[in-house]
């Protein structure tokens, strides 16, 4: 961890301020509640997504040659933090982070087709990797068989974030090798309209965001749909895991910040035995523990984002470290927040439960704690 990775420049401070102000005004938690209660489809605000494009956020990881800002992961992470703080429902992470990371390996023609549209927030993309309950790309059983000038897809993907309404899908499929191997995996861009309505099953998940199970049986795509080299997706997935780990940690940091602030305010106003409960030493100690863990997490997350921008040799270690710590701190702060609020903490009346549910939904995304602990250990030589 470097000292410079803990400092923010003027542009980053301005971005943080602009993101905080815009999301607090345009997409507070009350807006998320309305979307949930009205069962809006798609499960995000399309007008807000357009605003993301106008603000330049959708192009922060896109090269300038395709209309992007090339601002880097430090900037993107700040937006993710504020999205977590406000529980923003948006295709931003799936499209502007995960998909853009993979499209960087696509052909010039493919990049020219999709990247400017992403920058302008005119399209959305979801990444379809998982086929079971956990993240295990080596167990990919979806196949892509070459037939003439096309690939024929067979198989299903599950719990695809953003998959319910995305206009394009990036699909991990096996072009060779056997289930259990990372060799022989390839990535393909698939227009969502290539699937029949019956092949896309939207899911009602605990955080009320957009997820879907997808069937690709009989879907045909051109050879130009291949992203990068056939059979070379293993390396691309390693990069995606780094990026996803760092930015899910960023979102979780925003969530725990919001939970902590809410809890501190509650400790000041809730009275028991004719005194604010925040005056009780036992609760002060628990609040102090949360604070120190959150601040340590902040340093680790900032370093992971800097490691991505600097393309450090040990960036995978930094990103897995951030992911594990973010999940652990979210568990600590989430449970402490609910306990300190008492019975009302588990009711729908408070926003506390909404934040906690989102943190739960983020647990299996691109590897849970066990996955990243093991990854960290292997990369560290253990």
Residues 246 and 361 in one domain: yes
Of the three residues 123, 146, 171, the one that is the final residue of a domain is 123
Residues 242 and 221 in one domain: no
Return all residues near 286 (Cβ < 8 A) that are at least 6 apart: 336, 340
Return all residues near 335 (Cβ < 8 A) that are at least 6 apart: none
The rounded distance, in Å, linking the Cα atoms of 284 and 263 is 11
* Residue 37 structural domain: 4-123
pTM beyond 0.85: the answer is: yes
Residues 248 and 278 in one domain: yes
**Residue pLDDT, tens place only, 310-330:** 999 999 999 999 999 999 999
What's the pLDDT score for residue 56? 96
Residues 217 and 280 in one domain: no
- What CATH number is associated with residue 49? 1.10.540.10
The mean pLDDT value for 244-264 works out to: 98
What's the pLDDT score for residue 21? 97
Of the three residues 175, 200, 231, the one that is the final residue of a domain is 231
DSSP conformational letter for 112: H
- What CATH number is associated with residue 299? 1.20.140.10
Q: Is the pLDDT of residue 4 over 50?
A: no
Q: Is the pLDDT of residue 247 over 90?
A: yes
Residues 176 and 93 in one domain: no
Of the three residues 173, 197, 231, the one that is the final residue of a domain is 231
The mean pLDDT value for 176-182 works out to: 95
- What CATH number is associated with residue 147? 2.40.110.10
CA dihedral of residues 282, 284, 289, 293 (deg, nearest 10): 160
**Cβ atoms of 81 and 254 closer than 8 Å:** yes
Residues 270 and 222 in one domain: no
Residues 222 and 266 in one domain: no
**Residue pLDDT, tens place only, 289-308:** 999 999 999 999 999 999 99
Domain count, the chain: 3
Residues 60 and 154 in one domain: no
The rounded distance, in Å, linking the Cα atoms of 52 and 63 is 17
Higher pLDDT, 8 or 250: 250
Residues 215 and 323 in one domain: no
Q: Is the pLDDT of residue 85 over 50?
A: yes
Residues 119 and 15 in one domain: yes
Residues 192 and 66 in one domain: no
Residues 162 and 297 in one domain: no
């Amino acid at each position: 961890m470097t000292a410079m990775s803990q400092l923010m420049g003027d542009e980053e401070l301005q971005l943080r301020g602009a993101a905080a102000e815009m999301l607090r005004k345009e997409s507070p938690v009350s807006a998320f509640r309305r979307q949930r209660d009205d069962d809006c489809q798609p499960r995000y605000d399309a007008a807000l997504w357009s605003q993301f494009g106008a603000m330049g956020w959708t192009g922060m990881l896109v090269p300038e040659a395709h209309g992007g800002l090339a601002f880097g992961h430090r900037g993107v992470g700040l937006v993710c933090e504020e999205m977590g703080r406000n529980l923003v429902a948006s295709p931003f992470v799936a499209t502007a982070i995960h998909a853009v990371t993979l499209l960087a390996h696509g052909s010039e023609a493919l990049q020219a087709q999709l990247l400017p549209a992403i920058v302008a927030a005119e399209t959305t993309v979801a990444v379809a990797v998982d086929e079971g309950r956990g993240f295990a790309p080596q167990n990919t059983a979806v196949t892509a068989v070459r037939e003439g000038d096309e690939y024929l897809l067979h198989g299903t993907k599950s719990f695809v974030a953003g998959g319910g309404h995305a206009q394009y899908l990036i699909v991990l499929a096996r072009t060779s090798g056997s289930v259990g191997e990372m060799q022989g995996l390839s990535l393909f861009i698939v227009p969502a309209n290539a699937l029949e309505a019956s092949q896309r099953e939207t899911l009602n998940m605990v955080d009320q965001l957009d997820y879907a199970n997808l069937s690709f049986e009989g879907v045909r795509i051109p050879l130009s749909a291949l992203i990068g080299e056939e059979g070379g997706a293993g390396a691309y997935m390693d990069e995606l895991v780094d990026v996803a780990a760092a930015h899910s940690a960023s979102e979780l940091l925003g969530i725990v910040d919001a939970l902590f602030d809410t809890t501190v305010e509650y400790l000041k106003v809730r009275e028991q035995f004719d005194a604010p409960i925040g005056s009780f030493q036992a609760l002060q100690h628990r609040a102090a523990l949360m604070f120190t863990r959150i601040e340590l997490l902040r340093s680790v997350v900032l370093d992971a984002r800097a490691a991505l921008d600097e393309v450090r040799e040990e960036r995978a270690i930094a990103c897995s470290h951030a992911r594990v710590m973010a999940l652990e701190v979210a568990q600590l702060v989430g449970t402490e927040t609910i306990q300190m609020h008492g019975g009302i903490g588990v009711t729908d009346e408070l926003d506390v439960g909404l934040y906690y549910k989102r943190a739960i939904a983020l647990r299996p995304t691109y590897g849970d704690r066990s996955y990243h602990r093991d990854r960290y250990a292997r990369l560290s030589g253990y």
